[in-house]
Structure formats: structure tokens, C-alpha cells
Amino acid sequence: MDHPHRRFNRLSRDWVLVSPHRAQRPWQGKVEPAASARRPPHDPRCYLCAGNERASGERNPPYTSTYVFANDFAALLPGSPHDAVPDPLAEESHLLLCRPVRGECRVICFSPRHDLTLARMPVEGIRVVVETWLRESRDLRSRFAWVQIFENKGEIMGCSNPHPHGQIWAGDFIPNEAAKEDAAQKRWKESHGGVLLLDYARTEAECGDRVVVKNKSWIAVVPWWAVWPYEILLMPRSRHVPSLSDLAADEQDDLADILKRLLTRYDNLFETDFPYSMGWHESPSAAGPEGWWQLHAHFYPPLLRSATVKKFMVGYEMLGEAQRDITPEIAAARLRNCSDHCLPGAKA
């Protein structure tokens, strides 16, 4: 498809404008600074390194594997009292609607190594991160309606600390994006009888044009409706899996394997420590074990043409709808053709 067209996002029920011909225009836009030099294995100034003091005054233990602690500057608090809500009432008829929320926020240091991103960790180390995601999700889902596991990687994504880490925010409400996906998956189940993302995974596996990498249990694609240039949707490919805690041991092994292969391809695409925001979407715990929700992860990288040229969401994207220049098929082919071995000099 070389001409402008719109694609429908089955998960959010939004549209995205695709303009392939614009990829030929000369580029004179913003060039971001290149990623900083390689980091040391331990940085005595880093708040997240083992044994170091954090900004709060707390000191990290001398941890030797994946380490989790309560966020010192949490966006959600477990005991937000109802009387702390501003004056507007929590009534649907009120113009200035406001409701109290409570929750917990945690930080996951993937490794004590300051210089090892997920892409550079061995598969065995990534497997420990997977186990940590499962354990933390299971704990928080027992008390909260939504658990958001995510990672912001790279300065360009606003990551405030270069030590490879992720976060978990759990809250007593269903956030906007999750609510849209829940409604879309339920609608598909009611109208088609199947699980939306399981049907979609099978469709992408049969087509192959947007597949980046797959193994026995998982498939990673640049989705048909992708907004970001090298966006990825990671899904179980052959079984209905509502949440991380529903993964069998071999599926957890395969998840560690595909994460290593996918994220290494990201790094090799522009020969840089590839930035992104990623996160898991699980079945909302408050709603029970629905038959329509499928576990999946989104990866949203900002890079467009090189390690220093970023895609910006401005103008039409902010005021109209999302728009992209290179097609998802071209993006998938570029990633698929990258090696899944670490760049020379990268330690794994």
C-alpha cells in the first residue's frame, strides 16, 4: 500500500492514518543527542545500584539478582483518604468530577549490573525478571483492580536513572487504555465468539508480513494498526492466557527467549541502546476471569530514522488522530532482518 489509508486498531477501536509516500520527503528535523557512552558495571553515584543510598535516604541491600522495593516517590499511595479529595463531588451529574484513588508503586532493578539492559542480560537472567513480574503481579492483583508493569528505557523516554529497571503501579481503578481494550475484547468475543488477540496472533502468524520474531509460545509483531514506527505487540500465539500468573513454566521460558531475541534486534536496528516504553496488559483483576481478555505486552519506541532522529506526536496527531509514514510491513521487515545476536563488544 503506497497511498494514504487508515487502519483500524481492534484493541482500542481508534484509527491511525498511514502515509507511506511521506517517507520520501527530505528530513531537516530535530536530531536528538546520541546515547551516552557505555556504563560501568557499578556506579557509586547511582541510586539503584546494590549497596548504594537512594534519594530517600534508604540504602539498597547488596542484592545479587533482580531486586524490588517500594517506590520512594510513588504516584499512588495505599492510604489516600476520601477527605483528601478536592472540593468537587464524586457525582456523575457534577461538571468537575473527582474521585479518590489508592494504590502502590514499586521499582524492579533487573540486575545489580548497572550496565546490563534486558537486551544484554543472558536468557537465564531475563527468566528471573519474568518470575519477578509474575510474583509481583500475583501479589498486587489480590488487592487492586489494575496492575501496570512497565519499563521506560533511555533518556529520550524521560528515564531519570540509567540503571536498567522497571516499575509497577497498582491502583483500585481501571485506567483509560485498559478500559478501552477490555471493551474491545469483550465486543469481539460477543460478536465473533473467539478471543480477539488469539485470533489476531493466528492471523499474523499465517500472513507473516508483520512478524518480527516468534517461538513455540509467543509471537512479536509490528501490529497492523501500529502508531509508533517500530512498535511491537507481543502475545501468546496458541493458547488463551488471561494473565501472567496463568503462564506455564515452558511459556515463561519461551518468554525470556523471545524477549532476548526481540530486544537484541531493537539494539541492532540503529546500532544503539534502543529506547522504548513497554508494559504488560493483563486481565483486570476486579472483573474476574473473563473469557475475552488475552495477556499481551506493548513496546513503544520513539526512534524513526536513526539512533538520533525521533518520531514526534504533534500537530495532526494531537489534534486529529495518530499518523505514521513507514508502513508496519516495512518496519517489521527491517527488524526481522536484524541479527538477534548482541552487537560486537556488548556483553551478555
Would you please indicate which residues are annotated as catalytic (active-site) residues?
165
What grid cell was written down for 35?
546515547
**8-state DSSP, 209:** T
Positive or negative: CA dihedral 241, 242, 248, 252: positive
Indicate the residue type of 215: N
DSSP assignment letter at 343:
P
- Local structure of residue 75 (DSSP, 8 states): S
Cell numbers 499474523: residue: 204
Provide the 3-class DSSP secondary structure of residue 252.
helix
The alpha carbon of residue 148 and the mean position of all alpha carbons in its chain are separated, in whole angstroms, by 10
Q: What single DSSP character describes residue 210? A: T
- Distance spanning both ends of the chain, measured CA to CA: 39
For residues 262, 265, 266 and 268, what is the CA-based torsion angle, rounded to 10 degrees? 160
